[in-house]
């Protein structure tokens, strides 16, 4: 097939020769992953206009000695080419070209021409080999040794191509052409910095003659009797005769189940369930044997849990869940959306340390590593499809969907369904994913309804979210929950009083810009008054600011026009990951401990769903003007959902002054997310003891009121 630039203009062409999406399980041969990373320095040529690009750069004999160098993964705009642009609702070409869907910019469409030379690692030679692009913005053409391998759109899910026929052992030439704009750009109008380029990992992977192409693992949990219900469906490619051994292993390495069948449904007694409070994971392995030897081992982690609607309330393992959530853009102030594992670990430890238990992946599937960390550390996820077409239906805050996409347009339906499928297939085995989201701020129509139908059809273990139905109530039925943005507490309460049978969440609230987050308690107070109020997701985690000449800058600071300027700075942490004062409010109101101190009696309510207080110490500190007078520690055994009242046993001195009693709930031991002594909740009480009175001379003062000033006359003391 001969590639053409016409594909960029056609919403019905979004993948050519691309492999079917699959789970992100790990495969090994003799304990080794057959994977070869191609990250690092590539040859690169940048042009602003497609007609000026080196169109034949992919050919084997094309000389690239005049090309520059660029780092992969990385954004083109952060490596000396083009410029970053921050816009929110409007499209980046606003004011430069007047376009309507599916038109794309003709005056300017930056192109990155990438070349990488490589030898194939010995372990991969002679095997069927694929190339995987984990994230490329926005449209990508791929050639290997002069042969066209494929084309793909969707910036935030993997694009993989079978390149076996084109490879040789030494000196392979990989050529990749990346376009900033295509029809996909109409579907990726998120509130973020607009970049392009190869911004996630690129690697080769090889598969043996028999290969576990996909694993579907459902680990349901019967919370009435404590049993797990394990269901597996394996897609195994290969024509040879083979046998399969499935093994489920607990954290201690003990086998809890074994089978010689690939596809099973089996009850496993007395499993340990998964939750954010106790994120217990099992390892499922599938060992493939042929001709008397193991040819491949596939592995994925799984957690037993049940997420469901019960009487209009979302429940995890039978208990009402409260999402103490936040929206999270992938962000690093130096590298944009190119994150390291260290960045992700900082984010997830920050959340756990500050009582955040849930994340909405606004507004695209995240790096696959993030989901593994959420499984391990315990974070609930709303996994959001890479779909936002805000600027096609909302103009200056007014709903005007005359050019909305995807709407109910047949030419866009397959593209958005493909995005839903790509996310589902990759992420379906992650215990942390509780809810699938059809996207963000794209109005609503038959196409998004088809996405919701797809999620409901392929996955009975999760719920489906789409906030956009609030603009078109004809489609209320497609979402399992009422979800709103920035609704006021009294508006939420009006909805809750109607008892519609649908639970409520705020997918965005508490817009954390500037000196904000006041009034958050008005929202968290609703948790106690209404069962169907189930929390919300703060906007958002981190300021989207970039370093320029050593200083953090915002939209417009790169002479980017159009721009929405400083509106990218909405985080509860600064772009360099320093805490802002807003974090204290979040940690306090999201705490799972409600504590009250009155008349020497401490009352502690354990609002965890599944764990008692044995992992915590309750520390009482008495201070006077910053001087610690005494410290006492209590060990309390309080079951989840229960309360306990105990005397604190500390007397406040009768000597005059101001005394502060602070009760802190702190970790009793180190965890993977914080050290022993980390505070997760607190309450304070100020006690003022009268000081001895001495007679103070207060001179009389005469006040004179004038037209322009007020005069005070009297003795100086």
Active site amino acids:
441, 508
Q: Cα separations (Å) of 472 from 10, 407, 445, 600? A: 27, 11, 8, 55
State the Cα torsion 418-424-426-427 to the nearest 10°. 150
Closest by alpha carbon to 161, among 174, 135, 142?
A: 142
Is the distance from CB of 478 to CB of 437 less than 8 angstroms?
no
H/E run at residue 677: none
Specify the pairing of strand 358-360 against strand 323-327. Answer: parallel
Closest by alpha carbon to 449, among 474, 424, 483?
A: 474
Rounded to whole angstroms, the Cα distance separating 560 from 96 reads 12
Q: Which two tokens stand for residue 716?
A: 């100086």
Is the distance from CB of 447 to CB of 475 less than 8 angstroms?
no
Rounded to whole angstroms, the Cα distance separating 717 from 517 reads 43
Beta bridge partners of 505: 483
* DSSP codes of every residue in 381-392: EEEE-S-B-GGG
Rounded to whole angstroms, the Cα distance separating 269 from 74 reads 47
Closest by alpha carbon to 446, among 406, 400, 418, 389?
A: 406
Burial 167-203 (b: 16+ CB within 10 A, else e): beeeebbbbbbbbbbbbbbbbbbbbbbbbbbbbbbbb
E strands, 331-457, are 358-360, 380-384, 394-395, 398-399, 433-437
Indicate the burial class of 443 (C-beta count within 10 angstroms; 0-12, 13-18, 19 or more): buried
- Other beta carbons within 10 Å of 66: 8
Rg of the Cα trace of the chain?
29
Residue 336, sorted as left (phi over 0), alpha (psi -120 to 50) or beta, turns out to be left
Rounded to whole angstroms, the Cα distance separating 232 from 423 reads 19
Q: Which two tokens stand for residue 59?
A: 């050919």
Q: Which two tokens stand for residue 19?
A: 């492999």
Place of tokens 């499809």: 385
Q: Cα separations (Å) of 74 from 177, 336, 383, 650? A: 15, 8, 24, 58
H/E run at residue 111: strand 111-118
Q: What is the largest distance, in Å, between two alpha-carbon atoms of the chain?
A: 107
- Other beta carbons within 10 Å of 90: 17
């Amino acid at each position: 097939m001969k590639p053409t630039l016409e594909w960029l203009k056609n919403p019905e062409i979004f993948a050519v020769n691309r492999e079917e999406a699959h789970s992100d399980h790990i495969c090994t041969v003799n304990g080794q992953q057959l994977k070869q990373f191609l990250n690092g320095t590539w040859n690169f040529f940048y042009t602003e206009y497609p007609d000026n690009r080196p169109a034949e750069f992919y050919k084997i004999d094309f000389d690239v000695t005049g090309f520059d160098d660029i780092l992969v993964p990385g954004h083109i705009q952060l490596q000396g080419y083009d410029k970053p642009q921050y816009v929110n609702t409007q499209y980046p070409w606003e004011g430069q070209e007047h376009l309507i869907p599916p038109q794309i910019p003709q005056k300017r469409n930056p192109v990155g021409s990438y070349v990488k030379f490589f030898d194939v690692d010995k372990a991969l030679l002679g095997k069927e080999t694929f190339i995987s692009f984990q994230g490329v913005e926005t449209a990508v053409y791929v050639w290997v040794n002069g042969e066209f391998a494929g084309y793909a759109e969707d910036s935030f899910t993997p694009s993989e191509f079978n390149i076996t026929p084109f490879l040789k052992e030494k000196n392979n030439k990989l050529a990749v052409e990346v376009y900033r704009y295509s029809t996909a750009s109409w579907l990726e109008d998120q509130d973020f910095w607009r970049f392009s380029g190869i911004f996630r990992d690129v690697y080769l992977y090889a598969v043996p003659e028999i290969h576990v192409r996909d694993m579907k693992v459902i680990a349901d949990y019967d919370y009435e009797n404590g049993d797990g219900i394990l269901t597996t469906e394996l897609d195994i490619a290969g024509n040879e005769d083979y046998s399969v051994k499935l093994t489920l292993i607990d954290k201690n390495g003990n086998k809890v189940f074994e089978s010689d069948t690939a596809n099973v449904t089996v009850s496993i007694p007395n499993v340990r369930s998964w939750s954010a409070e106790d994120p217990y994971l099992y390892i499922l392995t599938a060992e493939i044997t042929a001709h008397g030897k193991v040819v491949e081992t596939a592995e994925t982690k799984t957690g037993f849990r049940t997420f469901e609607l019960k009487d209009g309330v979302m429940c995890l393992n039978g208990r009402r869940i409260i999402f103490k959530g936040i929206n999270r853009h992938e962000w690093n102030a130096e590298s944009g959306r190119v994150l390291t594992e260290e960045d992700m670990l900082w984010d997830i430890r920050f959340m756990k340390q500050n009582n955040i238990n849930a994340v909405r992946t606004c507004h695209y599937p995240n790096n696959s590593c993030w989901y593994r960390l959420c499984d391990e550390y315990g974070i609930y996820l709303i996994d959001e499809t890479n779909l936002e077409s805000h600027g096609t239906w909302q103009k200056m805050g007014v709903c005007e969907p005359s050019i909305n996409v995807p709407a109910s347009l047949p030419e866009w339906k397959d593209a958005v369904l493909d995005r839903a499928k790509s996310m589902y297939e990759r992420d379906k085995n992650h215990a942390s994913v509780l809810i699938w989201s059809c996207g963000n701020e794209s109005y609503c129509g038959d196409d998004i309804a088809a996405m919701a139908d797809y999620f409901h059809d392929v996955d009975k273990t999760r719920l489906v979210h789409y906030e956009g139905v609030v603009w078109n109530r004809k489609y209320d039925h497609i979402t399992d929950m009422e979800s709103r943005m920035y609704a006021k507490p009294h508006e939420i309460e009006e909805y809750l009083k109607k008892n519609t049978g649908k639970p409520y969440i705020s997918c965005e609230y508490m817009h954390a810009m500037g000196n904000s987050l006041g009034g958050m308690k008005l929202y968290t107070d609703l948790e106690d008054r209404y069962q169907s109020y189930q929390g919300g997701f703060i906007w958002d985690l981190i300021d989207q600011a970039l370093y320029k000449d050593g200083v953090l800058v915002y939209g417009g600071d790169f002479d980017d026009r159009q721009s929405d300027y400083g509106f990218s700075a909405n985080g509860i942490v600064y772009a360099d990951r320093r805490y802002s004062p807003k974090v204290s409010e979040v940690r306090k109101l999201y705490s799972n401990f409600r504590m009250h101190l009155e008349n020497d009696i401490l009352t502690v309510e354990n609002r965890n769903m599944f764990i008692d207080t044995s992992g915590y110490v309750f520390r009482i500190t008495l201070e006077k003007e910053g001087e610690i007078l005494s410290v006492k520690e209590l060990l309390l055994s309080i079951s989840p959902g229960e309360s306990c009242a105990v005397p604190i046993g500390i007397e406040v001195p009768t000597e005059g002054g101001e005394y502060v009693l602070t009760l802190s709930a702190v970790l009793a031991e180190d965890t993977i997310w914080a050290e022993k002594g980390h505070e997760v909740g607190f309450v304070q009480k100020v006690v003022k003891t009268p000081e001895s009175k001495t007679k103070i001379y207060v001179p009389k003062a005469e006040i004179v009121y004038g037209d322009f000033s007020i005069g005070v006359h009297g003795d100086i003391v």
